[in-house]
Amino acid sequence: MAGEDPEGGGAGERAGGKRGEEMVLPQYFYDVPDMEERECRAWIVPLIVIANVVVLMVVMFVNNCPVHGGGDGGSSRSCFAGFLRRFSFQPLRENPLLGPSSFTLEKLGALQWEKTVHQHQWWRLLASIWLHAGVIHLLADILSLIFIGIRLEQQFGFVRIGTIYLISGIGGNVLSSLFITKGISVGSSGALFGLLGAMLSELITNWSIYSNRAAAISTLLLIVAVNLVIGILPFVNNFAHIGGFIAGFLLGFVLLIRPQFGWTERQSLHHCQATSKYKLYQLVLWVIAIIFLLVGFVVSLVMLFKGVNGSEGCRWCRYMNCVPTSKWSCGN
């Protein structure tokens, strides 16, 4: 199942009332005086949060632990929080994340290689993004989404951030399906890592409008590195993290490009010589990102639906998802 991706927040450049102060997260490093005036109200991120909560409630309703006992012959008397009746959780020994059975998750759209590839249930690549293994899993993803997504949506709008979220989630699931052929996977970790990737590429493509660039990029890279390290623990789907991050990183060059600093103001002054809206390196990165994004998705999907198992051609790749130690193994 997908892993939890907790992220942090930071203070704005004008939070202390002074310009040029040291910041924490890169999305607050813009050196644009009237940035706050151009912020829009975030609504797609709250809508995604609500949708995730509603979906988990529907899943628990279908799961109906007191009647089905998890769908595998288990005892209904062992349901956790039985006072919730139909919405009670599976026994903690089966699902410690306070959620439904794996049987229910698989039935409602969890990512499963056999069904996705051989039964051509491609819709699982999208449906599994909205499923969560339990309340704890859901809360971790919601907190990450709020910390990462709200500010991005305020700056770039719901269309671009919503697009990055969905495509990155699918990209993470595609890579996950290519390398993990056993078990099921659910969660929005790939989509969340896509937003992190988009933040990094946005920093690179809009480099000239940032102040304190070194602190911005080092902080973001540290956040990504820590989460990828967490991803090598058992039961965490690091391939979804990596695939989502790559898709979001490329999409950031395409969707989060900003005009040159002061371009709008120069256009309003008719006596000023017209200049290009974007710098040359921004356009080059835009073209390269589109090519890599399209080629990557086409090749990956063709490999997936041909039943290619990526782990067979790359024996060491399994260590990107789990590193065995004396404390745990990386079996099924």
The set of catalytic residues is: 189, 241
Structure tokens at 11: 């203070």
Distances (CA, A) of 5 to 84, 121, 142, 237, 327: 28, 27, 9, 11, 22
Compute the C-alpha angle 107/108/112, nearest 5°.
65
| CA 20/CA 12 separation, integer angstroms | 10
| CA 66/CA 89 separation, integer angstroms | 9
The answer to whether 148 touches 192, Cβ cutoff 8 Å, is yes
Residue whose C-alpha is closest to residue 104's, from 74, 53, 63, 134: 63
Give the DSSP letter string of 234-250. Answer: TT--HHHHHHHHHHHHH
| CA 15/CA 19 separation, integer angstroms | 9
Exposed/middle/buried for residue 285 (C-beta within 10 Å: 0-12, 13-18, 19+): buried
| CA 238/CA 227 separation, integer angstroms | 9
Question: Would you call 278 helix, strand, or coil by DSSP?
Answer: coil
